């Protein structure tokens, strides 16, 4: 039996969180290595692409969060077998990656510079991606993004919208999802009430 170790930041969110949830939903034991931001600064030079998450499978490291999502998603039966539905799943995950990259570009800014950058983001790319994701959800039937059931794409979008509505991003209105993509609010509630997802967060409390 293979062994798994996932290294990511010590918070319940971000690119590593859907992988953690999927492991839990699959009932697969893994080492959840959580690091601080200061530790990341010291360790990143040793990782391919200088980034996390990093997934070690029997000691061999792989990178790229969407690749991990697909890999663990298949083990958890959260990735569609149908090619078109898999494409829909990948499209949603890719959109979240693009959106995440836009948000990360504002990290490290302070004061008025941060405020202006976040306001520009909210009115620009964030609005574009939220509306686009809303369209993808409607295309999928309104409840899930692909396959008429919860997939790894739903976990990835859920983690992002949960973050956007949490108030932890300064100068990003907490009602932005509600205003621009109301279907994603219902989606967030639906995913977090899934017994398997709820059990994961219960295990964290």
Do residues 12 and 91 share a domain? no
CATH no. for residue 135?
1.20.1050.10
Determine the structural domain holding residue 47 and report its residue range.
4-77+200-204
pLDDT at 157 over 90: yes
Give SS3 for 58.
coil
Cβ proximity of 111 and 157 under 8 Å: no
The average pLDDT across 44-70 equals 97
**Residue pLDDT, tens place only, 118-150:** 999 999 999 999 999 999 999 999 999 999 999
> What does residue 5 show for φ and ψ, rounded to 5 degrees?
-135, 120
pTM of the model: 0.96
pLDDT at 29: 97
pLDDT at 115: 97
| Angle (CA) 17 146 184, round 5° | 65
Q: Take residue 180 and report the two structure tokens written for it.
A: 């621009």
Total number of domains constituting the chain: 2
> CA quadruple 125, 84, 182, 202: dihedral positive or negative?
negative
């Amino acid at each position: 039996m293979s062994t798994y170790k996932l290294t990511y930041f010590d918070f319940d969110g971000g690119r590593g969180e859907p992988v953690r949830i999927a492991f839990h939903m699959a009932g697969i034991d893994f080492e959840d290595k959580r690091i601080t931001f200061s530790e990341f600064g010291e360790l990143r030079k040793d990782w391919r692409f200088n980034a996390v998450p990093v997934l070690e499978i029997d000691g061999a490291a792989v990178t790229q969060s969407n690749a991990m999502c697909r890999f663990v998603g298949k083990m958890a039966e959260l990735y569609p077998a149908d090619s078109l539905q898999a494409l829909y799943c990948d499209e949603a995950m890719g959109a979240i990656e693009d959106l995440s990259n836009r948000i990360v570009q504002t990290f490290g800014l302070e004061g008025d510079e941060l405020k202006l950058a976040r306001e520009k983001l909210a009115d620009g790319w964030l609005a574009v991606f939220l509306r686009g994701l809303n369209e993808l959800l409607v295309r999928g039937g309104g409840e899930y993004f692909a396959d008429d059931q919860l997939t790894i794409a739903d976990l990835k979008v859920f983690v992002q919208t949960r973050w956007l509505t949490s108030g932890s991003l300064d100068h990003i209105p907490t009602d932005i999802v509600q205003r621009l993509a109301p279907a994603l609010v219902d989606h967030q509630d639906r995913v977090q009430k899934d017994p398997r997802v709820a059990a994961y967060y219960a295990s964290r409390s």
